[in-house]
Amino acid sequence: MPEFLARPDPVASSAGGSAALPSPHGLPRVSVRRAGLPRTLLCLSHLRWDFVYQRPQHLLSRIAKHTEVLFFEEPRRTDQAEAWLDIRTTEDRICVLTPCLPAGLTQAEDERVQRVLLDAYLAGINAWDLGLWYYSPMMLAFTEHLDARLVVYDCMDELSAFKNAPPQLAEREARLMRQADVVFTGGQSLYASKRRFHHNVHAYPSSVDVRHFEKACKPLPEPLDQARIPGPRLGFYGVIDERFDTGLIGSLAVARPDWQFIMLGPVAKIRPADLPQADNIHYLGQKSYEDLPRYLAGWDVALMPFAINEATRFISPTKTPEYLAAGRPVVSTPIADVVSRYGDSGVVRIAGNASAFVRAIEAALVDGADRAAFIGRVKAVLAGSSWDNTCADMLAEVEKCAS
């Protein structure tokens, strides 16, 4: 079995002091804590902090203003014989813990090593008042023994329906539901599914940082890789995986060679060779959250070309309100949570096949022609929808359990 090492975060270890008591990370402790929150909140996530910026990052960056947040993400494989915990601190004062494990371990060995690494770290920082915030039920295997005052399950997706889902996922989620003090869901469809299994379930659909995305409502410097692409531009950003309808994009590109399809985001769980290729389809790769408004500012219509399958049955895409806040008309396939929340909004058009999608895009191009009027309708639709409000409401439910 591997040896175990701890590698400190060079940023944290070199940080300066303050009048507050120092934290185990070398940074000043959060001086104002919300009543009831544990001193340390450990988030267990199947997503990496530096992957696509989405629900966990929005919520936890806000929670970190009130208490210390640790973000334990999925392992990284190395060619070394020892295992270690890579530790760094983000600008949002979140301590990201990445287990670095030798290749070739079994799942049981993986979980045992992660337990050893995490236990040693928590002992080293004297995490005597601990809360657990789960995104991945699989991580219950090496955290179930922890003495936590609070257990939260933020169920943002039906992970068991995703491609290559672990066979143990459903059973571990059932265990987690029994242990959780409160369960949140990322949308109404998930809420309807999960509320049968827990007495304290609350739906908090995707929200939006309006101030960030409304930058795209005004002219912005054009990104170099998009500047060369003519219009009209129809764009998508997000993970391109089994939830993405590759056939639909291919059909649209053939049907309207005068339209330009811009795809931003990493490709996962599908072969890049299986992506549709055409002169008017442009794969520009993953972009930072900060750069998204610059790309959106150059689009005429924003797309949500999701496949209708088990993996998309319960999704509530964060990009819907983000696209809208950027002042872009949206065309989506009939995802249940999109239809129920935005289907009658007048700012999102729903289309079930390629020909209907073409017609919907044509209508959306007309919608966007009067940008000021469209933005006025968007503001009415998004009124009160913000990650600040959502996070505050979720914390209020958490504090009821933690008091």
Write out 383-402 in H/E/C secondary structure.
Answer: CCCCHHHHHHHHHHHHHHHH
Q: How confident is the model at residue 26 (pLDDT cuts 50, 70, 90)?
A: very low
d(CA 164, CA 271): 14
How many angstroms separate the most distant Cα atoms in the chain? 64
pLDDT at 28: 43
Strands 94-102 and 281-285: unpaired
Q: 267 pLDDT exceeds 90?
A: yes
pLDDT at 10: 35
Residue type, 382: L
CATH number of 4-207+387-402: 3.40.50.2000
Which residues on neighbouring strands pair with residue 76, listed in sequence order? 100
d(CA 16, CA 356): 58
Segment 340-349, tens digit of pLDDT: 999 999 999 9
Segment 219-247, tens digit of pLDDT: 999 999 999 999 999 999 999 999 999 99
Question: What's domain 210-382's architecture?
Answer: 3-Layer(aba) Sandwich (3.40)
- Percentage of the chain modeled with pLDDT above 70: 91
Output 160 or 296, whichever has higher pLDDT: 296
Model-level pTM?
A: 0.86
List every span in the chain annotated with CATH 3.40.50.2000. Answer: 4-207+387-402, 210-382
Quick one: DSSP state of residue 135?
Answer: S
- Percentage of the chain modeled with pLDDT above 90: 78
pLDDT at 396: 94
Q: How confident is the model at residue 31 (pLDDT cuts 50, 70, 90)?
A: very low
Segment 54-89, tens digit of pLDDT: 999 999 999 999 999 999 999 999 999 899 999 999
